[in-house]
Amino acid sequence: MTALSLPHWILAGAGNIGTLAASHLIDAGHGVTVLHERLNRRDKTLTFADGRPPRQLQLPCRPAASIAQPIRYLAVVCKTPYTASAIEHLPLAADATVLRLQNGMGSLDGLLPNRSTCIEAVTTSAVKGSDPVHDVVAENQTWMGGPDTPPGWYAGLAAHWPGLAWSDAIRDRQWQKLVANAAINPLTAIHDVANGRLLEVRDLRERMTAIVAEADALLQRLDPLWPGDSLANVEAIARATAGNTSSMRADVQRGAATEIDAINGWLLDQARHLGLAMPANARVVAELKRRADPQAVY
């Protein structure tokens, strides 16, 4: 593939992970324009805990309404509650390629043209901070997948994106991350504790175990080949990130919308269709929403 035919991405979400993704796309020769209603340009700094020197980026921006040409490449890297408002009025080409790099499931359901191709990305990297400085705490593995074969530009991108791999089982990667997020994120947010406390406090550990067991039972109903033994992996993640503030706890602390609907909410939607009860998951959704809005009735 020649440089001239490399994608130019419209990026919905130049925050922590979106800015890191933009830097790798640009290094691989892709174009990146950020969706922004007011700014013409976003000046960003990425810092790296692994010793790489800081990286300055100047990302051009455009408001959605100014884009007249059909968008052929869209990268969705905003938090899930903002997905619909970010992309619903965009002129997406009928055969657009959409790269979704978000936690949770289902945020693009019903929003994409039928003939579009969705590439799902799952990352175990961690980026913190806030505009304009984004701190890459750890750049670990990132998997992309969805289509049967990687697109022509993928190999060139992988050469510039540390830890990027193509996965023929991206849904399993998503589900593994989903179960961990379903157990760790709401409990740490509701109780305002670091991830490791879920292993130390008996009641929290029991609730984490129950959430994981329900999620595994549901996922096994959706796919009988799902191994259904996620607890060890979830505990390992809680241990490896023991001192960390989960993303949902951070969202609650700063009064921002959480991704609960795309995580436990997605699980509960699937369960409802199957007539399955998931009381431990329903409980954290209700408690989390009550914490965010104490007046609301759920």
Ligand X SMILES: NC(=O)C1=CN([C@@H]2O[C@H](COP(=O)(O)OP(=O)(O)OC[C@H]3O[C@@H](n4cnc5c(N)ncnc54)[C@H](OP(=O)(O)O)[C@@H]3O)[C@@H](O)[C@H]2O)C=CC1
Which partner, ligand X, ligand KPL, none, binds residue 123 by CB below 5 to 8 Å per kind? ligand X
- Considering only 19, 107, 230, 244, the residue that binds ligand KPL (CB under 6 A) is 244
- Of the two residues 10 and 234, which places its CB atom closer to ligand KPL in the complex? 234
Strand-pair partners of 10: 33, 74
Q: Return phi, psi of residue 218, to 5°.
A: -65, -50
Per-position DSSP letters for 111-173, written without gaps between them: TS-TT-EEEEEEE--EEEEETTEEEEEE---EEEE-SSS--TTHHHHHTTSTTEEE-TTHHHH
- Of the two residues 83 and 241, which places its CB atom closer to ligand KPL in the complex? 241
- Of the two residues 16 and 23, which places its CB atom closer to ligand X in the complex? 16
- Of the two residues 64 and 180, which places its CB atom closer to ligand KPL in the complex? 180
Per-position DSSP letters for 59-80, written without gaps between them: EEEE-GGG--SPEEEEEE-S-G
Candidates 61-69, 204-212, 241-249, 288-296 — which segment interacts with ligand KPL by CB under 6 A?
241-249
**Residue 261 C-beta: closest distance to ligand KPL, Å:** 14
Active site residue 177: yes
Cα pseudo-dihedral 44, 46, 47, 49, rounded to 10: 160
Of the candidates 191, 226, 225, the residue with the CA atom closest to the CA atom of residue 208: 191
Tokens of 152: 């022509």
Element (H, E) at 281: helix 279-292
**Residue 246 C-beta: closest distance to ligand X, Å:** 10
**Residue 206 C-beta: closest distance to ligand X, Å:** 26
> CA neighbours within 13 Å on the CB side: how many for 290?
10
Strands 41-48 and 133-138: parallel
Strand-pair partners of 31: 8
The Cβ of residue 239 has, within 10 Å, a number of other Cβ atoms equal to 12
The Cβ of residue 171 has, within 10 Å, a number of other Cβ atoms equal to 19
Which partner, ligand KPL, ligand X, none, binds residue 141 by CB below 5 to 8 Å per kind? none
Number of residues this chain uses to bind ligand KPL (CB under 6 A): 11
How far CA 114 is from CA of 117, 118, 225, in Å, comes to: 9, 10, 28
**Residue 2 C-beta: closest distance to ligand X, Å:** 30
- Of the two residues 23 and 188, which places its CB atom closer to ligand KPL in the complex? 188
Q: Is the dihedral of CA 105, 21, 254, 42 positive or negative?
A: negative
Catalytic-role residue among 44, 79, 177, 289: 177
Candidates 62-70, 77-85, 156-164, 236-244 — which segment interacts with ligand KPL by CB under 6 A?
236-244
**Residue 50 C-beta: closest distance to ligand KPL, Å:** 18
- Of the two residues 36 and 249, which places its CB atom closer to ligand KPL in the complex? 249
Q: Closest CB to ligand X belongs to which residue? A: 15
246 near ligand KPL, judged by CB under 6 A: yes
Site map 147..186 versus ligand KPL, x via CB under 6 A = ---------------------------------xx--xx-
Residues near ligand KPL (CB under 6 A)? 103, 180-181, 184-185, 195, 237, 241, 244, 246-247
Positions marked catalytic: 177
